[in-house]
């Protein structure tokens, strides 16, 4: 896909996020919207995967560590063909395969069941080590939030990834600067963020997380790098694409009402 086509895909994914959360009456739009360009690039350009065979052994692995952003993952999986688009309307409903946090044993294409934040990078380290032990060439991508980088487990995993020189692992931080109760800089300041990752032995780059050219080129550099894991600190805007949700902490975990839904979808046409 071209960059222009990927931009269209990202816009479509954002529309799905708004519609499915509005239909459910609950969910996390802010962090789903901020990650849309990253997820579009991974699923429709970068990763090797097979909707017809979700368990294909040589597939690249995508680990959604920021599990509350499940709607953006479901939107990508549906658009890629893992299940029907109509199933998106079942988000958070009883007996649905699309729960508020993704479940690996329930939803086709989901690699890790998520819940508490901070676990995803550890899981991704295990997946990358497994590839080495099994002599597999697949690459593992982990999408983290900046807020969950306040968790100690994230940094324990960062230490181990550098220790084992996992150059088949790329972490991408959806760094939108906000979490449930406000700005990360006020709750637990992460800066100098990039320098911290470098100090932990990672190859670290900083990009505009809504610039698809930068997303694609940084992921390609990470995949070609040898001898150490890579992290991409993607600076994003919470609620990106919907004006009244952008940088608005209220929409971290709040569904839009009918009027807000109509307005959001209009902006995303």
Q: What is the pLDDT of residue 116?
A: 86
Query: What CATH homologous superfamily does 3-267 map to?
Result: Thiamin diphosphate (ThDP)-binding fold, Pyr/PP domains (3.40.50.970)
Band (130; pLDDT cuts 50, 70, 90): very high
Give the residue among 35, 28, 90, 97 at the shortest CA–CA distance from 62.
35
What residues have CB less than 8 Å from 177, skipping those under 6 apart? 146, 183, 184, 185, 235, 238, 247
pTM equals: 0.97
Q: What is the pLDDT of residue 209?
A: 98
pLDDT in tens, 205-263: 999 999 999 999 999 999 999 999 999 999 999 999 999 999 999 999 999 999 999 99
Band (115; pLDDT cuts 50, 70, 90): confident
Domain map (residue ranges) of the chain = 3-267
User: Stretch 147-159: mean pLDDT, rounded?
Assistant: 97
């Amino acid at each position: 896909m071209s960059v222009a086509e990927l931009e269209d895909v990202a816009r479509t994914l954002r529309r799905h996020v708004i519609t499915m959360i509005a239909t459910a009456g609950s969910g996390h739009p802010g962090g789903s919207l901020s990650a849309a360009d990253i997820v579009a690039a991974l699923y429709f350009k970068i990763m090797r995967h097979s909707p017809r065979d979700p368990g294909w052994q040589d597939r690249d692995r995508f680990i959604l560590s920021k599990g509350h952003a499940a709607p953006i993952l479901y939107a990508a999986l549906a658009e890629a063909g893992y299940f029907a688009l109509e199933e998106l309307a079942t988000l958070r409903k009883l007996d649905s395969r699309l729960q508020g946090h993704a479940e690996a044993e329930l939803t086709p294409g989901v690699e890790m069941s998520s819940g508490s934040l901070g676990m995803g990078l550890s899981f991704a380290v295990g997946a990358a080590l497994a590839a080495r032990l099994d002599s597999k060439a697949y690459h593992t991508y982990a999408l983290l939030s900046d807020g969950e980088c306040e968790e100690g487990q994230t940094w324990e995993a960062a230490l181990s990834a550098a220790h084992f020189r996992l150059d088949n692992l790329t972490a991408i931080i959806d760094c939108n600067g906000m979490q449930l109760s406000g700005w990360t800089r006020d709750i637990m300041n992460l800066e100098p963020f990039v320098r911290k990752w470098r100090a932990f032995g990672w190859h670290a780059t900083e990009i505009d997380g809504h610039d698809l050219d930068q997303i694609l080129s940084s992921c390609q550099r990470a995949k070609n790098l040898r001898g150490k894991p890579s992290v991409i600190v993607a600076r994003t805007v919470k609620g990106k694409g919907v004006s009244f949700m952008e940088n608005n902490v209220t929409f971290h975990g709040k569904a839009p009402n009918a009027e807000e839904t109509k307005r959001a979808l209009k902006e995303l046409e």
